[in-house]
Structures are given as C-alpha cells and as structure tokens.
Structure 1
Amino acid sequence: MGTSLSTHKGPQLLSAVAAASAVGAVWWITSRRSWEAEHTELEESTLTQEETESTLEEISEAFHAIFVELAQVSRNVIQALQDQGFPKPVPREQVEAMLMQQIFHGRLADAEKKIFARRRLSREALQRACSTYKDKSVSVGLLVDGVKAMYRHAVDGELPLLPGAQVPDGMTDEKILHILEQIHKAKQAKIQEALQERDFGGPPSISMPFAQKLQECNKKAEEEVLARQENAGLTEQTLLHAVAVFSRQPQFKLKKQLLDEMHTEAVLHMINTGGTSKTTTKAAGYWCGSSIPSEAAASVGQPQQDR
C-alpha cells in the first residue's frame, strides 16, 4: 500500500484519503457523465453503432481482468480499515481513495490507450458515440452501464460481472469449483517444479525474477486446464465471469474460500521448504458434491469476504 494502515484513531489514514481523493475524482469511470460528450454542441459521432459496441466490448473485456484484481485488493483494504476501527460498511469514497494509490489507475489507462491506438480512435470520439447511441441502442447502454458497475463492484470488494457475458450452458457451480481445483493443482505442480529447479539452501527469497516465474507458472497452468477437452468452450474471461456469478451464492462463496485457502497454504509450504509438496485434507471433497459441514454452516449467509 502507498499508505500504512497502522494509524492511531485513523488521522494519518484520513489525511492520505483526502490527498488521494483528488486522483479518484478525475477518474472518468467514476464520473456520472464519463461516457457522454461534455458539450452538446460537439459534432455527431463518426463511429457507427456497431463500431461503438465493439469498442465498448473490447474495453470491458480489457478492464474486467483488472477489476477482478482490484476487487481482491479492495477486500484487503476494507478488512484493514475495519481492523483499524472504521465502521461497517466502510464508505466507498475512502476505499476508492486508498485504491487510487495502487497501480490500477495506470493499468486501466494503459489498456484504454492501447485499444484507442489500435482502432485509431480518440476518447472524445467514443464519448460522442456513446452520447449518440446510448439511448438508441440497448447494447450500448448495457455496456456503458456495465463498465461502471464493474468498477463499483470492484471497489466494494465484490467480483465484477463481465457486461453481456453468459455462463456457458451446463456449467454448474460445482463444475466451476472442480475446474478451479484442477487449476490450483496444476499451479502447484508447476510451482513445485520451478522451486526444485532453483539452487538454494533453505527457504528461497521471492525476488522479482522469481516472482515473475511464479506468475508464468500460474498463467501456463490456467491455459493448460482450460485447453482440456472437458473444458472446451470455457475461456479465462468466461471462467472469471462464472466465478463472479456463482460468488453471489453464499455456499459457493464459502466453498471457494476454503479451496483458495488450501491452495495458498500449499504454495506457501512449498516456498518455505524449497518445493516439498504438502497434502492437506482440510476440506477434501468439500467443494464437489458434498454439503457444507456443520461447523462452517453457521457462517453461511452472513457477510464475509470471499477470496
């Protein structure tokens, strides 16, 4: 974080929030009229409705993965703020100001810039197009509102829904959990292999090059699992969308949380032991076809942060 959350009664944190709020205030996603031309005298859009829709779809897809990460960081920020005595729920403005000190604003701007450059398009041209078609096209309206909703959900620590996306037919919550389990196992196998290839004595330090290696392991594992025949038709984005959809269900949310906790525990064990795998039975079979254990059932339906 750009600002420590260890404060006495929060004065330093509030000061940082006030300083950062100016950054968040100019972020076009949060603006009420961000997608619309600021002046009515601007010329009519030169983009067609189809071009406008395809541009918005590309932007929403590029932003979705970033917003998923933003949601995960936001959950940690919210939890830290609550640990410091802030009321529940933490005001969105305070969370947003904290998050603007992260790299997300730059990543969103870069993603948008690349799309505009590839399409030889300016933001102003897209704004004019959105102003022209928003009330004429249901698709444009849904995409415009969908991008804003992704941002709001992410800041609130909730996984964002990809605008216009659908969960593939036959893709149940249990199947999604099974795929996530497969991905975790594939990641652990690749991370274990990478750790065992390192030449060190004792637990390794996570240097930047090795951290990048771990990210590569994760990406390759996801690609390999999604490329399997039984997962045909499922892409990274549709998987993220399906996880977000089912995460609105308390039971799925709890099962996924336990699954993620076991994965984190296994990876940390491998890092600390130089690649030795760890078998855990903490919730074996818990997320696939089994009911929630009685000791965990009490927490279902209560507000809690999914991981």
Structure 2
Amino acid sequence: MMERTLRENKGSALRRAEPLHLLKELKAILYLIPFLVPFSVFYLWPVLRGAWMSLHVWGIQGMEKYVALANYRKIFVNADFYSYLWNSFYFVLLCTPTVIILGLVLALIINQNIRMRTLIRSVFFLPYVLSVSVVSFIWLRLFDAKNGPVNALLHVLGLPVDINWLTDHRFVWWAITITTDWWSVGFVMVLFLAGLQEIPTDHYEAAKIDGANAWRRFLHITLPGLSSVMKIQIFYQIINCLKLFGQVQIMTGGGPGDSTNTMIRYIYVTGFKKDMFGLAAAQSMVFCFIMLLIAVVQFKITDRKDG
C-alpha cells in the first residue's frame, strides 16, 4: 500500500513537472528566434535556393529547364575547375602561415611594456576596418610597375629593377599575399594579444627562476597558452583565404592569363559574365562542400589532439 502511494505521488510530481519543462523549452526557443530569423533569411534560404538552381539551366531571365545533376557533371569534366581550385589552395598556403606569423610577432612585441603601445596597436589594426575595395586600390597604386612606391623603395635599396608585380606570374601571388596580410594582420594581432593577456604571469616568473631563457619560455609557456587562439586563427584564415575574390578582381582581373583566377571568381564569371547561373550555383555548392569538409577535418584533428 505504501509503495503504491509513493508511486502515485511520484507520478503526479512528474506530471506537474512536465508543463514546467515544456515551458522552459519554449522559452529557450523564443530566445533563439532573434538569431534563427536572420539566419534563415540570409543563410539557410540562399543555400536552399542555390541547391535548387544548381539542378536547372538558369539564365538571367530565370529558370529554363530541369537538368538534374548535369551541371555537376560539367564541373568535374572541366579542367578549369581543378586549376582554379588549386589557385585557391595555393593562396591558402601562402597567406595563412605568413599572416599568422606576422600577427603573432606583432602581438608579442606590443604585449611588452613599450611606449605608445596603444597607438602602435591602433595603427596596425586600422587597415582591417577598410573595405576590400579600398585596400585593393591602395595596393594597386603601390605596386604600379613604373611609378609605384614599392619599386621606388627597391631602387633606394640598390635594386635597380622594375618588377611587374601584377602582370608577372612569378610575383603576382606575392603581391596579393602582401596586400591581404597588410589588411588582415591587425585582426590576427588583436586575437593573439587577447590570448597572451590570459596567460598567468607567474608562469613566466617561475620559468625565469628555473633559468629558462626567452626562447624556452616561448616554446613551453606562450605557445601552449595560445593553442586555443591558434586553432581559431588557422581555421578562420583558411576559410577566409579560400573566399579570395576582391583583391584578385580589382588588382589582376584573374591575370596574368588565368594564373590568379580563384574559385570565387570562377563562380562569378560563370554566373554574371556567361549568364549561366545554374552552373554557377552548382559550382558554389561544390565549393561550399569542400570548405565544409575542410572544417570537419580540422575539427576532428583538433579534437584528437585535445583528447
């Protein structure tokens, strides 16, 4: 009898708790609405719309006919796809290490007790607030082969050569990398600065007492302390570099030849120059899948190292 009474009391308590639990879930959903609405409008709907367009011949006047996976087959039999995909990854290999190393070095310098550190930090961060168009036009002028300040500086340094930075395939990627590094390094620096300030100073003091020099303190305290920030930086820079478009479009137009044509510009040309929006949507879906795959692999590697 007593056990039955206890079961009934427990059951009634659970029934009373159910509405409260549902109310909490409803509140959580309501809190998410301000995020879910813009996410659906600006991210989810364009992806679904792009996936639908990729299955059709779609011109500037709209849908013409359903072609199933024909657009995807065109992508993989076109040699340009592999060439432009390689260009995108080549830029990742050039830009990601350089901007992260430069940002880390600047953060280490500014983190010291130096004069005018706030001013120096602001000067390096300032380019990041500029638009890609402004940055590209600035460096388009700086890299001018005849009257550009970059070549003038080389002459001052005793190198009497006029390098065609934007028309010579040997130098063009370095010009785009320098432009992008100058634009992005301030953001990288600020994130590293935030990470450095989270490392307890007593770790460095203990290492000094133990006789560790600056290099050993950097290897065994600073780098491990920045591991989380470093992972975020690498992930962000890889994805950001893969999305390269503005610098190439303004500074080189994909040239010389097709040597700086990237996947994003390839998609742009297919859609807006060739009026093949269905094929461009398919290219976007493929490239989006590649970036998603990179993100998943990177997270798997990170989780394995953390484990």
Q: TM-score range by the shorter chain?
A: under 0.3
Larger helix proportion, structure 1 or 2?
Answer: 2
- Of structures 1 and 2, the larger Rg is shown by 2
Q: Which has the higher contact order (CA 8 A, sep 6+)?
A: 2
